[in-house]
């Protein structure tokens, strides 16, 4: 017998099976809308390699928010939820940004309202603060448990994670020199500093000592994990793989910086940079 927790599961009576794959049609509709909008902007342009990255991002969103990972996340394991969040923040946004050529977005900057807003929200300080505040706030027990109890709020949580993560990665991967990337040294510093708040949240979860997210306490146990063991594992997933992603990207940036002659200028880090003749 499992004692009922003070917070119910998101959907009572949920089950998971390797032979069944649940699909939430709201995510399908949203992903199809993004694909249609992308192809409408692409028209007849040759962007086959970019398409691969963009659609890879959409596929990962689909498998993160549907099927087995979704069911494990919502009904059984906090640690599975952390895997889902890492995919939505550390993998999906870079793929979507890399998969979107700058010329697709540039017409939006001709709008007198969009342009100043875009410049304001893509400033590195704003991107850094927004992502880390969103990440920390949604992992506090009151907000996290609220999202687990109300499906609509849970959707808002995921949308905020993805939107703020796109902002986080923008100063690293921006396809628009008009909304520029940081210089390579500043990119490395930016990602290093990003790892610190994430680590603090992860340490808080890992070493909490008490059950922070009781919605999972009433779930049938999987792999013999107790709710506290599951919470500890979830914190470690955020802490170690999440940190490794950031430090892996820092390594890639370092080698790219060296390939550009270790030039420290902002211009050398932009997507369309070319070395000066004779350099």
Q: 168-203 pLDDT, tens per residue?
A: 999 999 999 999 999 999 999 999 999 999 999 999
pLDDT digits (tens, 9 = 90+) for 7-54: 444 444 455 667 789 999 999 999 999 999 999 988 766 666 789 999
pLDDT digits (tens, 9 = 90+) for 129-160: 999 999 999 999 999 999 999 999 999 999 99
Q: Which residue has the higher pLDDT, 217 or 56?
A: 56
What is the predicted pLDDT for the residue at 80? 96
Whose tokens are 């009576």? That residue is: 13
For residue 211, what are the contacts with CB-CB under 8 A and spacing of at least 6? 217, 227, 228, 231
Q: Give the pLDDT mean for 100-115.
A: 93
The upper half-sphere exposure of residue 208, i.e. CA atoms within 13 Å in the direction of its Cβ, equals 23
pLDDT beyond 60 at 2: no
Q: Answer whether 157's CB lies under 8 Å from 65's CB.
A: no
What is the spatial distance between Cα 183 and Cα 172, in angstroms, rounded to a whole number? 9
Q: Which two tokens stand for residue 163?
A: 């939107």
Q: How far is CA 257 from CA 97, 187, 231, 260, in A?
A: 20, 10, 39, 5
User: Among residues 232, 224, 203, which one has the least CA distance to residue 78?
Assistant: 232
């Amino acid at each position: 017998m499992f004692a009922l927790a003070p917070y119910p599961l998101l959907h009572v009576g949920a089950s998971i099976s390797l032979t069944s794959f649940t699909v939430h049609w709201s995510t399908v509709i949203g992903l199809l809308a993004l694909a249609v909008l992308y192809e409408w902007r692409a028209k007849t342009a040759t962007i086959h390699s970019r398409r691969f990255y963009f659609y890879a991002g959409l596929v990962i969103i689909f498998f993160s928010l549907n099927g087995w990972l979704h069911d494990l996340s919502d009904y059984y394991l906090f640690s599975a939820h952390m895997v889902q969040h890492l995919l939505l923040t550390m993998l999906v946004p870079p793929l979507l940004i890399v998969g979107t050529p700058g010329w697709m977005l540039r017409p939006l900057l001709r709008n007198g309202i969009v342009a100043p807003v875009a410049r304001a929200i893509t400033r590195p300080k704003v991107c850094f603060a927004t992502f880390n505040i969103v990440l920390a706030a949604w992992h506090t027990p009151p907000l996290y448990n609220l999202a687990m109890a109300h499906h609509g709020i849970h959707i808002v949580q995921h949308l905020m994670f993805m939107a703020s993560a796109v902002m986080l990665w923008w100063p690293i991967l921006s396809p628009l020199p008009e909304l520029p990337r940081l210089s390579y040294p500043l990119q490395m510093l930016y990602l290093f500093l990003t790892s610190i708040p994430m680590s603090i949240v992860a340490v808080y979860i890992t070493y909490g000592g008490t059950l922070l997210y009781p919605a999972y306490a009433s779930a049938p146990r999987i792999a013999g994990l107790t709710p506290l063991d599951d919470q500890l594992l979830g914190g470690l997933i955020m802490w170690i793989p999440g940190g490794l992603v950031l430090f892996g990207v820092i390594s890639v940036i370092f080698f790219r910086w060296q390939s550009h002659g270790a030039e420290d200028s902002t211009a050398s880090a932009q997507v369309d940079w070319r070395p000066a003749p004779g350099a």
